[in-house]
Amino acid sequence: MTFLWAFLIGGLLCVVAQLVMDWFRMTPGQVLVIFVMAGAILGGLGIYGKLVNFAGAGAAVPLPGFGYTMVEGIGQAVKQKGALGLFTGGLTAASGGIKAAVVFGLVAALIFKPKS
Amino acid sequence: MDSEKARYQQLTQEMMPRRPVLRNAIMAFVVGGLICVVGQCIQWFFMHQGMSAKEASSPTAVVLIGLGALFTGLGWYDRIVKHGGMGGTLPITGFANAMVSPAMEFRTEGLVMGVGARLFTVAGPVLVYGMTAAMVVGAVRWLITGVA
């Protein structure tokens, strides 16, 4: 059942992003920035967490999930460390993805040649 | 002057190619949905190794980013983005694509300012504004509710 919701919610988030891009004539980069910020805000309001609970990867895999992950991480870190958690929590929670993106990205850019 | 400006704007509006909005949306839905299902499969695999859904989301992101980088290198991911638009770009695999693609292209500018800097053409802004937004949201929530 989660697989169906993952497909529907993940697909819908992408449709919203596509419509925002087409209607406001934005570049993909601008849309990504807006969506990561939207994910953080919806995460803070507790909405995105509910979405992740029932759509699984459908909400976690699109980029708003990245903003949500950082907000959640900050929440946990603030509980343990107080104000310092505001600085450490976000990146701690997102560290796996960021490190993977940098290392795999660098390796891929060095190994492969651009096509066409 | 003003009418000239308006005329010019009207002209550019007319000349701009019409975007096939409906078709784009449908393709984004299918492609984005399928990528999320792949992500769900990977997460399901990690959950079968005894992780909770929350614990499994981090290794899932790592695997998806690895796949995104690999497919970009092979030249496959650009085709996914070409057809799927935001359906290819919004998932975390598209984030990897947005890093690798310019880095690969500008390799001739050197390892530092070519590859190193271009990795962050899109990832840079996303990290800057994402991290700032997360911190502001976290601080506001802490102030209002007392628990972050």
Condensed to tens digits (0 to 9), the pLDDT of residues A61-86 reads: 999 999 999 999 999 999 999 999 99
B100 chain-A contacts, CB cut-off 8 A: 105, 108-109, 112
Is A17 in contact with B89 (CB distance < 8 Å)?
yes
ipTM tops 0.90:
yes
Contact: B25, A111; criterion CB under 8 Å:
no
Q: Do B130 and A33 touch (CB under 8 A)?
A: yes
In a domain, A104, yes or no: yes
A32 lies in some domain: yes
CB contact under 8 A, A98 and B127: yes
pLDDT, position A91:
96
Q: Cβ–Cβ of B137/A3 closer than 8 Å?
A: no
- Which of A2, A18, A19, A76 has the highest number of chain B CBs within 10 A, making it the mutation to test binding with B? A18
Residues whose CB falls within 8 Å of the CB of residue B98, separated by 6 or more in sequence, listed in order: A28, A29, A32, B89, B121, B122, B123
pLDDT one-digit tens code per residue, B123-132? 999 999 999 9
Q: Is residue A57 part of a domain?
A: yes
Write down the pTM of the prediction. Answer: 0.91
User: Is there a domain that residue A116 lies in?
Assistant: no
CA angle B40, B133, B55 (to 5 degrees): 30
Expressed as residue numbers, the domain containing A57 is 2-111
